[in-house]
Structure 1
Amino acid sequence: MTRIGILALQGDVVEHERALARVGAETVRVRRADELDTVDGLVIPGGESTTIDKLLRIFALFDPLKARLDDGLPVLGTCAGMIMLATDIIGAIDGQRSLGAIPMTVRRNAFGRQVDSSEAELTWLPDGSTMHATFIRAPWVEECAAEVEVLAVDESHGSHPVAVRYRHAIATSFHPEISRDDRVHALLVDAATAR
């Protein structure tokens, strides 16, 4: 069975566990480098990107995680996880680092403050179907390299990409783990299984 880790420093860990179980994956919570070594793929959940960055450093996980991603570990970053996977961040605090797994620039808190959280119906571009999305203080993609595949765009906020895929990395502005639509998690499990 494919084993997917969930970075368990902050964020929707339980909700991701449930979504991954629905698509047939075994899960493990990752807080240490030795736990990271045991997984076929990883979820970086939402939360607060500056806090995740600091906790990765405190737990001595930043460098091992970056090395695994550079080596092709399949990864899904949701909301703050999207920010962590970007190469460039607009609105970053001084000293904030990212993992640079997707050649894109994201804007932190692009959708506004917590009270500006919203829901939207998106078009899932791979098959043209509708996907319900929940945005909570979400980022969006300002720009990305031509080789980055755009999976969904939010038409209500200026047509910014809100779901992308690049090689082994997938990122969403929204929280697929709370919608009970498991397509995004299935993409991660498929990538991890195929590796």
Structure 2
Amino acid sequence: MTSPVVGVLALQGDVHEHSQALAACGAQVVLVRRPADLASVDGLVLPGGESTTMDKLLRRYQLLGPLRAQVAHGLPVYGSCAGMILLADRIECGVQGQQTIGGLDVTVQRNAFGRQVDSFEERLDAPALGAGPEEPELRAVFIRAPWVSECGPAVQVLATVSTGPAAGRIVAVRQGALMATAFHPEISGDLRIHRAFLATVSRGWAAQK
């Protein structure tokens, strides 16, 4: 096998778009719909979608427990938008009984940027992702997006909003093998987020060979 296998959680959300982006970066992509599918992956993407629906489907298909165990054992996971909410240890403005996979020592505010009609595109400050004064700007698509309102000491902030009323809000983070963004790089066509995640996956994959 010449490249790592990256799963995309295929219960709801931007499954096809993430699959295309990962393939464009050279990954082998598989769809994850049941616990047995996790055995073949070196990393996993939790796509954007609707976080409460995804939580219910994870429990219905008995994936929530296995995913928590895989995260605890160091599986690299990247979550975009709803995926960020699923990886957060704490949620603000969640619905009653909403659960997460957890692993990221962050508090995430659900729908922090507003409703679907408030979707927008914004430039980010993201030097850790190759978007600084000398590199092309990183423009991010936000759709009913969360933001990170609190980070634990082990969490690295990767990107913040650079302008407007939300300037300074944290919208991308990393902690160990976990990575999350409030925005949708699978829609924008900018592959820097997927490449950064695949670099983490590849390091773990190579160490096991």
- Same fold, judged at TM 0.5 (above): yes
Give me the CA root mean square deviation: 0.9
Cα distance in 1, alignment partners of residues 127 and 152 from structure 2 = 18
Q: CA shift at 1:146, angstroms?
A: 2.2
Q: Which residue of 1 aligns with 2:27?
A: 25
Q: Which residue of 2 aligns with 1:10?
A: 12
Stretches of 4+ moved more than 2 A in 1?
none
Residues 112-164 of structure 1: CA deviation (Å, up to 9, x unaligned): 00000000111222142420100000000001012211111013314111011
Could you say what secondary structure the match of 1:159 adopts? coil
Q: Which residue of 2 aligns with 1:168?
A: 177
Structure 1 unaligned segments of length 5 or more: list them: none
Q: Which residue of 1 aligns with 2:77?
A: 75
Cα distance in 2, alignment partners of residues 124 and 104 from structure 1 = 18
Residues 143-190 of structure 1: CA deviation (Å, up to 9, x unaligned): 101221111101331411101100000000000111111111111211
Q: Which amino acid aligns with 1:159?
A: G
Cα distance in 1, alignment partners of residues 179 and 192 from structure 2 = 12
Deviates more, 1:53-62 or 1:156-165: 156-165
Could you say what secondary structure the match of 2:40 adopts? coil
| Structure with greater strand share of residues | 1
Q: Which residue of 2 aligns with 1:48?
A: 50
May I ask how many residue pairs the two structures share in their alignment? 195
Q: 2:89 is matched with which residue: 87, 90, 112?
A: 87
Q: Which residue of 2 aligns with 1:141?
A: 148
| TM-score, reference length from structure 1 | 0.97
Identity of aligned residues (%): 52
Deviates more, 1:72-81 or 1:178-187: 178-187
Structure 2 unaligned segments of length 5 or more: list them: 205-209
Q: Which amino acid aligns with 2:52?
A: T
| TM-score, reference length from structure 2 | 0.91
